[in-house]
Amino acid sequence: MTLMLWHRRVGMLACAALLLWSVSGAMHPLMSRYQPQPMARAAPAISPLAPDTPALSSILTRAALDAVTEGRLVQMPYGPAWRVETDDAGGVPRYFLASSGDEIPDGERRHAEFLARHFLGDSESSIVAIERIERFGGDYPYVNRLLPVHRVDFARRDGMQVYVDTRQTQLATLVDARKARMNWIFVTFHNWRFAQASDRARAAIAAIFLLAVLATPVLGYRVYRRRRGLALKGVRGWHRRLGLAVSVVVLFSGVSGFWHLLKGVQDRASMPEGPRRMHQILQADTLDTRALQADTPMQSLVLLSHDGASWARVTSLPDVQSATPRGHAAEAGHAGHASAGATGPLMEVRYIPLEGKTGVVLDDERHARILATQLSESGPPEPTAIPITMFGGEYGFINKLLPVFRFEAGDTRLYVHVETRTLAAAVNAADYAEGWSFAQFHKWQALEALLGRWPRDLLQIGFALAMTLVSLLGLGLFWRRGPAQSRKN
């Protein structure tokens, strides 16, 4: 069987996949460019607690709650409220007005709507639906990282959907009708969601086609070397010239895409509900929050447990309201993608013991070190903690959370987000290599640094269209010659 026959047969399989991947891949720069932008990036400031505000301990006692696993003061339309979670509440948090201790009916839905209106800057449009999302999939893929979230659908001409994380009071992503259409094309034809199969089975099918895509330019180049002296005109000549021009891009994109595909299946299987978080128990009778009264607004107030004692971690409001939200990437790209230079705002952080003086000094670095030790699956971390306040390198915008602390644990680097007690990322040598490969060979980040985002995007779109044209020319040659004649060659 000749090389040309192998090239044609394998090429037929590759052409179908390459058409889908190249056309949908051209959507990626457009998705980033036309990502809807929020009106507010910071979470709503929390109003100061009045002097006569009841302690959270008394509020929980009245609600017959002996302990909670999460406690946070959040801003609601009617003032500050306590948001608490318990192990026996089915994952649904409860809300209590801080001023009176009265429970807020349907508090989480009201909080989700309040956050969505705040980030979107829309206080007038009616709400069509609010849905709690607890797993990645469908229109909320793993790339968004945050779970659980609420999707708030607005009755607007642009079909706006706002995804908010009520636990962390932050925006996950915005999706309007235009982005939804582009998302559908990208997810359906680039991630092959049309293949009605399990994640592993879909990846296996895509891997077979990827191998065909990788083999086709290699076989085509060998055919070219054997027939280099022949002058080819028309469709066959254009197919050869364009094929040679895009072959290197096809190979690099295919190899990095294949690696990324395998890594994605592994990640989704190991973290179906998002990054790992440290579980804690806060005894209700230790939550005397009367010492937390303040004269100025706060950006966050989170309760935590340390050595059996309860503490409050309080952050002050950033100076500039339009700063990047706490722990959230600026919505500069699709599905929450943002510039690699996005940073977390610098804020004053205080740890306040709720049971009086403890003789213990606690701050973010000490707390992060404790969390790293408990969350590490790579052995005990080194004591050195490096604060990270900017997305970049191996800790990119896809990880969502800032600021974090980095620790070394064996051959793994741990990134710990203190406020949410979350292991935001764990990166070993293989993870780093895959991430670098995908960033440079699939997304061309080096070209973005040299040329800027939009010129890089235009180049990507141009090569995607060229790959589409090569595939169409190849299909045209195959069918013009006829399948029967191709088998005889």
pLDDT at residue 21, rounded to an integer: 85
pLDDT tens across 3-15, in order? 667 777 777 778 8
- Mean pLDDT, range 268-297, rounded to an integer: 81
Give this prediction's pTM. Answer: 0.83
Assigned domain for 288 exists = no
209, 214, 232, 216: which is closest to 7 by C-alpha? 216
Are both 308 and 166 inside the same structural domain? yes
Contact indicator for 5, 277 with CB cutoff of 8 Å: no
pLDDT at residue 220, rounded to an integer: 80
Are both 173 and 309 inside the same structural domain? yes
pLDDT tens across 133-144, in order? 988 877 788 788
Are both 325 and 265 inside the same structural domain? no
Q: What is the DSSP string of 72-112?
A: EEEEETTEEEEEEE-TTSTT--EEEETTT--B-TTHHHHHH
| Residues contacting residue 235 through CB under 8 Å, at least 6 positions apart | 473, 476, 477, 480
Assigned domain for 289 exists = no
Final residue belonging to a domain, choices 360, 383, 413: 360
Q: Which residue has the higher pLDDT, 30 or 334?
A: 30
Q: Which helix (H) or strand (E) covers residue 473, if one does? A: helix 453-481
pLDDT at residue 141, rounded to an integer: 81
Assigned domain for 27 exists = yes
Are both 44 and 147 inside the same structural domain? yes
Assigned domain for 228 exists = yes
> DSSP assignment, residue 143?
G
Q: Among 248-257, 343-352, 466-475, whose mean pLDDT is lowest?
A: 343-352
Assigned domain for 189 exists = no
Question: CB atoms < 10 A from the CB of 363, how many?
Answer: 12
Are both 52 and 173 inside the same structural domain? yes
Instruction: Indicate the average pLDDT of the chain.
Output: 84
Residue 106 confidence class, pLDDT cut points 50, 70, 90: very high
Assigned domain for 420 exists = yes
Contact indicator for 149, 140 with CB cutoff of 8 Å: yes
Token pair, residue 119, equals 């980030």
- Mean pLDDT, range 294-317, rounded to an integer: 87
Are both 439 and 356 inside the same structural domain? no
Residue 399's domain comprises 363-443
Are both 464 and 436 inside the same structural domain? no
Residue 344 confidence class, pLDDT cut points 50, 70, 90: very low
Residue 313 φ/ψ, nearest 5 degrees: -100, 115
Q: What is the DSSP string of 194-219?
A: TS-S-HHHHHHHHHHHHHHHHHHHHH
Share of the chain above pLDDT 70, in %: 86
pLDDT at residue 20, rounded to an integer: 85
pLDDT tens across 204-252, in order? 888 888 888 888 888 887 777 776 656 566 677 777 778 888 888 888 8
Q: What's the total number of domains in the chain?
A: 3
Are both 421 and 383 inside the same structural domain? yes
Q: 109: number of CA atoms within 13 Å, CB side?
A: 8
Tokens 């609601």 identify what position? Answer: 76
Are both 105 and 250 inside the same structural domain? no
Give 66: exposed, middle or buried? Use CB within 10 Å, 0-12, 13-18, 19+. Answer: exposed
Are both 216 and 93 inside the same structural domain? no
Final residue belonging to a domain, choices 360, 394, 413: 360
Question: CB atoms < 10 A from the CB of 304, how many?
Answer: 22
Assigned domain for 285 exists = no
| Rounded Cα gap, residues 160 and 120, in angstroms | 9
Are both 483 and 459 inside the same structural domain? yes
Are both 332 and 472 inside the same structural domain? no
Residue 337 confidence class, pLDDT cut points 50, 70, 90: very low
Assigned domain for 291 exists = no
Residue 444 confidence class, pLDDT cut points 50, 70, 90: confident
